Amino acid sequence: MQHRIIVLGAGYTGAIAAGRLAKRLHREDVAITLVNAEPDFVERVRMHQLAAGQDLKPRPLHEMFAGTGVELRLARVTGIDVDHRTVAVVDAHGAAELAYDTLVYALGSGWNAQGVPGTAEHAHELASRPGAQRLRERLAHLDAGQPVVVVGGGLTGLEAATEIAEARPDLDVALAARGDLGDWLSPKGREHLRNVFGKLGITAYEHAAVTAVEADRVATADGRAIPAAVTVWTTGFAVHPIAQATTLEVTGTGRIVVDGTMRSVSHPDVYAVGDAAMALGAGDKPLRMSCASGTPMAWQAADVIAARLTGGKLPNAHLRYFNQCISLGRKEGLIQYVTADDRAKPAVLTGRLAAVYKELICKGAAWGVANPMLGLPTRRHRVTRERAATGPTVEAAA
């Protein structure tokens, strides 16, 4: 009897987990199904580039997983019954139900309007490829001198503002941040960021919490009205709502609570990785929603599942951070070195070399999806008959 593993979502974390499992386990022992709504792998870390008018290399999932033994199921997940181990999906042929022994939940996140009035009606988002494509089309039709406001001073906001300003120097690009510009960076990092903003002609509105979005402006808490022919909303992410509708233990925002092995604390046959999971890193601090967090989470989950199914030794990886990589257009970058728990160190890498570094990181992330073992031995281990039939047990987690 094959052990049925279903991976939901083929973003960075889901795709890596599925591929790594396929190289850890014998095909005769497991049936791995990767469920995704789109036929292509989306490089989410490049959505600001797509929006700014750059064309990205297509990456069909069926080519990436050809010959791996992973079955690709193009379908939209509509529900999960974690008590009966089934997943409801809808595909081109209609509704269906998939049964699993082990589930890897990697449905990720989308944009978060934060409940601000007018955002859903008037703002653009960069959390998805359709959103980036809509923004791309809108920007292409803007006349010179039109104002573009990026709301949100985090990594996505900084990358979006600089990418748009570099690609369209004829536009009036601004960024509205709730606090100081780059306030989580080191002094050297903040200084470099301000220099790049100055060179690109980007206006920074600091301590400007946006309270409403209109068709031609955004309003801030201190009474300012900032003109905006286009508003780009980048104030964080909201996880897919499906997990919150299950009996899984989730946080108030819908993230699945997992232990150090990425296993659900309430359902031992469910693992969660990426933005959808609430996992703790160094110093017992929650890992932030990012590719930097999701990739090692996917490695951890896949290796743990393989170990539990084969009776191997459980990996004891400690998830930590090393740096934050920020592209500031195609010619500039900022690499902020951080502590294990993601606090800025004094050291930074800036300029053209940092831009090259960030580009290598992006290429490496995509390469890691297609090559999930990252140089590790590809020896496959056999699943014991008992574990294939029953799945990983609670005792095996101890």
**Class of residue 313 by CB neighbours under 10 A (exposed 0-12, middle 13-18, buried 19+):** exposed
Q: Which CATH number fits domain 3-110+237-321+374-397: 3.40.50.11540, 3.50.50.60, 3.40.47.10, 3.40.718.10?
A: 3.50.50.60
The per-residue pLDDT for 389 is 53
Q: Report CA-CA distances (Å) from 348 to 160, 162, 330, 334.
A: 21, 18, 18, 7
The per-residue pLDDT for 396 is 32
Q: Are strands 277-278 and 270-272 parallel, antiparallel or unpaired?
A: unpaired
Crossing angle between the packed helical segments 12-24 and 291-310, to the nearest 10 degrees: 30
The per-residue pLDDT for 385 is 54
Check whether 60 has a pLDDT greater than 70. yes
**The model's pTM:** 0.91
> Which structure tokens are listed for 392?
């990983």
Q: What is the pLDDT of residues 132-146, one digit of tens each?
A: 999 999 999 999 999
Boundaries of CATH 3.50.50.60 in the chain? 3-110+237-321+374-397, 113-233
| Average pLDDT score, the chain | 92
The per-residue pLDDT for 375 is 47
The per-residue pLDDT for 379 is 55
Q: What is the pLDDT of residues 36-52, one digit of tens each?
A: 999 999 999 999 999 99
Q: What is the pLDDT of residues 189-215, one digit of tens each?
A: 999 999 999 999 999 999 999 999 999
Check whether 127 has a pLDDT greater than 80. yes
The CATH code of the domain at 113-233 is: 3.50.50.60
What's the mean pLDDT in 291-306? 94
Q: What is the pLDDT of residues 335-394, one digit of tens each?
A: 999 999 999 999 999 999 999 999 999 988 888 887 765 545 555 666 765 555 555 543
